[in-house]
């Protein structure tokens, strides 16, 4: 009889996966959507490429499941693996098609968190293009911390463990990312300097 | 592809390729190996730091009258300083491979490593391990380096002007001793109540000695500190 592990804690699920790899199915169900959006946001890969990356991620999770340290949150650990696998894929990419995958809510969230007041309820196509350009122009290190903080809503402690940098560095990257984004937004006429 | 299909693909691949979780002991073993590497590099750099310290502080230096460059050239084996730097750098690289190294700033890691090195070097100094190592290495100095002790390897031959005299004890008098240096000069070395003899050894005729002090005449020298050069140290020739 297959146990229903949908409500089991992450730690219990890890133990069950070690007994039977079929139980990995519950882990994939739990984290698939969250990780899918995370990979697409930081990499601009297509859905197909993202699925390939996530397949690799879950296999790595299974392989390294014994090294999971319970002093971390399990979600932090799986995000860590996902991030590293995505970065490896970005480095390997040659001419993979890139699709910008931040929707209107994501964009609005980034604008608000960067201190840019935008009154229109709907961001029109032209503004979307501008925001997209600005975000793409930011170095990866700023993009990923802004996505982790504003869109994935990770705490500083979780971000430290995911991107493996000290807390001070993470805070500094976030502040600089916001400042750069705001500066570019002012230059491109999205916001007024105050 | 739907999520369910992908899930099936993943589990199928795990079973087909017989992918198994990496055993726990392997991860722990690697962690222990890394920490052992950090410890070894700290110990090695501590050994060399203690060697530098005994050279720097064993012979008291009159800082105000000596040229700092000469001081450095005479008493600081550059190779040991270089080795401290290399091992500390290695220790830093190995430490970065530990599980939680990323939580600390680079400066913090470097300071902790240096502090650990310094503490261990004091321990080695106390246990005389550094002297034993120096004696061991000095016995193996090639003759081409004029058979000087390693901490004197850059010495000039006649340094009386700079407050350093070395030679063989030829005669002992009440308030002075007669020293013959490697230039065959006979120096009259005046002893005062302030003159210190290192380790309070009893100086005998025939002993090789190193004297710190001041030149007071053509072949006259006033001694502040006298150190007997032990056997197996090469001669001053």
CA angle B91, B92, B94 (to 5 degrees): 65
The shortest C-alpha distance from B83 to chain A (Å) reads: 29
Give the span between the Cα atoms of B164 and B62, in whole angstroms: 11
Is the Cβ–Cβ distance between A46 and B7 less than 8 Å?
no
**For chain A, which domains are there?**
5-92 (1.10.1740.10), 104-187 (1.10.10.10)
pLDDT less than 70: residues of chain A: 1-3, 94-101, 116-124, 192-194
The model's pLDDT over B162-180, given as tens digits with 9 standing for 90+, comes to: 788 888 899 988 899 999 8
A185 contact B CB<8A:
no
- Is the model's pTM score more than 0.80? no
Dmax (CA) for chain A in angstroms is: 64
Q: Find the residue in A nearest to B29 (Cα).
A: A67
- Helix, strand, coil percentages, rounded to 5, for chain B: 50, 15, 30
The model's pLDDT over A53-91, given as tens digits with 9 standing for 90+, comes to: 999 999 999 999 998 888 888 999 999 999 999 999 988
List CB contacts (< 8 A) between A60 and chain B. Answer: none
CA distances from B59 to A74, A101, B51, B71, B197 (A): 59, 71, 13, 11, 11
Q: Of B138, B140, B139, whose CA–CA distance to B152 is shortest?
A: B138
What is the reported pLDDT for B115?
92
CA distances from A124 to A116, A129, A130, A131, A138 (A): 16, 9, 10, 11, 22
Structure tokens given for B210: 């190193």
The model's pLDDT over B17-34, given as tens digits with 9 standing for 90+, comes to: 998 999 888 888 988 999
Burial class (CB in 10 A: 0-12, 13-18, 19+), A109: middle
- Nearest-Å Rg of the Cα atoms of chain A is 18
Q: Which of A48, A63, A69 sits opposite B21 (nearest CB)?
A: A63
Is the Cβ–Cβ distance between B26 and A63 less than 8 Å?
no
List CB contacts (< 8 A) between A34 and chain B. Answer: none
Cβ distance of A64 and B7 shorter than 8 Å: no
A28 contact B CB<8A:
yes
What is the DSSP secondary structure assignment for residue B22, as one 8-state letter? P
Q: Which of B3, B22, B105 sits opposite A66 (nearest CB)?
A: B22
Per-residue pLDDT of chain B (237 residues; tens, 9 = 90+): 678 888 888 989 998 999 899 988 888 898 899 999 999 999 988 888 887 777 666 554 454 455 555 555 555 566 778 888 889 899 999 998 888 888 888 888 889 998 999 999 899 888 888 878 777 666 555 544 444 444 443 344 457 777 888 888 999 888 999 998 877 889 999 998 888 887 667 888 888 888 888 888 888 999 988 888 765 544 333
Buried b (16+ CB within 10 A) or exposed e, B142-171: eeeebebbbbbbbbeeebbebbbbbbbbee
Strands B208-215 vs B164-172: parallel, antiparallel or unpaired: antiparallel
Helix, coil or strand: residue B214: strand
């Amino acid at each position: 009889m297959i146990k229903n592990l949908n409500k089991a804690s992450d730690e219990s699920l890890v133990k069950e996966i070690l007994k039977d790899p079929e139980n990995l199915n519950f882990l994939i169900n739990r984290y698939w959507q969250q990780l899918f959006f995370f990979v697409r946001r930081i990499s601009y890969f297509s859905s197909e490429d993202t699925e390939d990356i996530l397949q690799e991620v879950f296999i790595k999770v299974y392989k390294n499941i014994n090294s999971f340290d319970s002093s971390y949150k399990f979600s932090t650990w799986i995000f860590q693996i996902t991030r590293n696998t995505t970065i490896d894929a970005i480095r390997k990419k040659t001419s993979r098609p890139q699709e910008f995958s931040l929707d209107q809510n994501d964009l609005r969230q980034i604008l608000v968190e960067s201190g840019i007041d935008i009154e229109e309820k709907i961001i029109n196509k032209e503004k979307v293009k501008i925001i997209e350009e600005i975000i793409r122009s930011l170095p990866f290190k700023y993009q990923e911390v802004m996505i982790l903080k504003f869109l994935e809503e990770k705490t500083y402690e979780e971000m430290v463990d995911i991107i493996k940098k000290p807390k001070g560095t993470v805070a500094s990257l976030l502040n600089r990312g916001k400042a750069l984004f705001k500066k570019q937004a002012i230059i491109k006429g999205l916001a007024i300097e105050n | 592809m739907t999520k369910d299909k992908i899930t099936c693909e993943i589990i199928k691949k795990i079973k087909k390729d017989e992918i198994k979780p990496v055993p726990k002991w392997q991860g722990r073993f690697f962690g222990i190996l890394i920490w052992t590497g950090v410890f070894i590099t700290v110990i090695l750099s501590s050994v060399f730091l203690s060697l530098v310290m005994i050279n720097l502080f064993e012979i008291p230096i009159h800082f105000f009258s000596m040229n700092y460059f000469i001081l450095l050239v005479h008493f600081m084996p550059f190779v040991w300083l270089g080795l401290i730097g290399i091992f500390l750098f290695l220790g830093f690289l190995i430490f970065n491979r530990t599980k939680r190294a990323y939580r600390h700033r680079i400066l913090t890691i470097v300071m902790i490593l240096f502090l650990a090195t310094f503490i261990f070097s004091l321990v080695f100094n106390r246990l005389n391990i550094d002297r034993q190592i120096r004696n061991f290495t000095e016995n193996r100095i090639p003759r081409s380096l004029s058979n000087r002790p390693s901490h004197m390897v850059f010495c000039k031959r006649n340094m009386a002007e700079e407050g350093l005299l070395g030679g063989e004890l030829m005669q002992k008098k009440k308030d002075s001793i007669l020293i013959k240096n490697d230039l065959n000069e006979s120096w009259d070395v005046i002893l005062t109540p302030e003159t210190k003899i290192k380790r309070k050894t009893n100086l005998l005729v025939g002993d090789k000695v190193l004297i710190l002090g001041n030149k007071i005449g053509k072949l006259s020298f006033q001694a502040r500190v006298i150190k007997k050069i032990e056997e197996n140290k090469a001669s001053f020739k």
